[in-house]
Amino acid sequence: MFVIMTYDVNAKRTGIYRKLLSRYLGHEQFSVFFGDLTPSTLEKLHREINKLMVDGDKLIEISAVNRHNVDVAFWSKDGRTEGLPTVASDVRHKSDSQIL
């Protein structure tokens, strides 16, 4: 199962989430993590998150049975403040070697 997780928590708690999610998923960008998990490993992660969460913590989880059916695009302005953002397709998640 392909999983993308991101969190929005109090600044004092970011290290706790970063440490937990890094044990299960690849660290992509600040509070964004992704990778392949078995259903049982994902359930174990859910239990650990449940113990960790406090009022005000927010997590977003996006999952798909097959990572090849997920499209990822990165948007950026690359230092520009005007004009349209650059949108680039990213297929790294579709390759086994990049996930590991």
Please give the CATH topology (third level) of the domain spanning 2-99: Alpha-Beta Plaits (3.30.70)
- Output the tens digit of pLDDT for each of the chain's 100 residues: 899 999 999 999 999 999 999 999 999 889 999 999 999 999 999 999 999 999 999 999 988 888 788 777 767 766 666 777 777 777 776 766 544 4
Q: Where are the chain's structural domains?
A: 2-99
pLDDT value of residue 31: 95
Q: Which residue's entry shows tokens 């230092």?
A: 79
pTM of the complete model beyond 0.75: no
pLDDT value of residue 100: 41
